[in-house]
Amino acid sequence: MSYGRQNGDTVKKGRLFVISGPSGTGKGTICKRLTDIADAKLSVSMTTRAPRPGERDGINYYFVEESRFREVLDAGGFLEHAEVYNCLYGTPKQPVFEHLNAGRDVILEIDIQGALRVRERCPEGVFIFVLPPSMSELRKRIVGRGSETEESVNLRMGETLKEISCIDKYDYCVVNGVLDDAVNRIAAIMTAEHSRVDADVAELLERYRNEEAALQGDAPTKGDR
Ligand code: ADP
Ligand code: 5GP
């Protein structure tokens, strides 16, 4: 699917899309699908939590000991970091800016505390909040994922209503009921963001003017006919 900029013959900075919301709403599932259909780079976070079955180092996360996480933190290597459910998570800064500067869109799938920090540092980012269709479905999804203890499920459910109260700091909200609908809706948001009237459009208009001036220059004058 082509959703990106419309005057793509010059390299522009990519756009930063931040997708967050309570645990279990389906952010990870949505982001995986988005990277299949959209030309965007999904940032790989660093975490101190243990890998779940099937998760791979460097693909799902960089799984590290706390000492290594703190080294990166002290060296200023994170765009943001947060403690989430007793583990540390951080977004490595360098790859994000490298991709943006190379003109690629970047997706961050991070928690709400992290998203609010990114909003301070990168207010030009696009902030999307993923909501569950209902609290009972949310619980079912967290339990169904099979990765949490009962205590951890209750902890995540307990945080949900608090987290949802931050929704007014976001630009968009998307209810993840039917997965395809949620993915298509976010892809549509990405398309819309690339259709904004901004500096890219000014350049496009300048190109039209130059092109038209050149065409006028080429046009035969009356006397030539
Ligand atoms: P998050 O990243 O927000 O914590 P996940 O992507 O891990 O959530 O999704 C939690 C669980 O819900 C997973 O088992 C996933 O397969 C399931 N899930 C995600 N989206 C949907 C959906 N739209 N309908 C049904 N199940 C879903
Ligand atoms: P999980 O352990 O279920 O993969 O993730 C737990 C929570 O941490 C999710 O809400 C997820 O979005 C968030 N998360 C993942 N990576 C990061 C990150 O780099 N920074 C922040 N702040 N949150 C993250």
Q: Is residue 157 part of a domain?
A: yes
Task: Find tokens 């398309």 and name the residue.
Answer: 191
Which ligand 2 atom is at minimum distance from the Cα of 46? 19
Distance 178 CA to ligand 2 centre (A): 22
pLDDT computed for residue 218 by the predictor = 78
Residue 222 lies in a domain: no
**Ligand 2 within 6 A of CB of 139:** no
Task: Kindly report, residue by residue over 104-163, the tens digit of the pLDDT.
Answer: 999 999 999 999 999 999 999 999 999 999 999 999 999 998 878 898 899 889 989 899
Domain tally, the chain? 1
Average pLDDT over residues 164-180: 96
Residue among 138, 125, 111 at smallest CA distance from 171: 125
**Would you state the torsion angle of the CA atoms of residues 149, 142, 65, 121, taken in this order, to the nearest 10 degrees?**
-140
Q: What is the pLDDT of residues 27-44, one digit of tens each?
A: 999 999 999 988 899 999
Ligand nearest, relative to CA of residue 111 = 2
Instruction: Give 27 Cα–ligand 1 centroid separation in angstroms.
Output: 7
Q: Residues near ligand 1 with C-beta < 6 Å?
A: 23-29, 141, 144-145, 176, 179
Q: Kindly state whether residue 180 falls inside one of the protein's structural domains.
A: yes
210 lies in a domain?
A: no
- 211 occurs within a structural domain: no
Please give the pLDDT value at position 131.
97
**Assigned domain for 177 exists:** yes
CATH no. for residue 44? 3.40.50.300
* Residues of the domain holding 189: 16-196
**pLDDT at res. 66:** 98
51 occurs within a structural domain: yes
Q: Is 192 inside a domain boundary? A: yes
Q: Which atom of ligand 1 is least distant from the CA of 22?
A: 3
User: From CA 20, how far away is CA 75, in angstroms rounded?
Assistant: 26
Q: CB–CB of 22/109 below 8 Å?
A: no
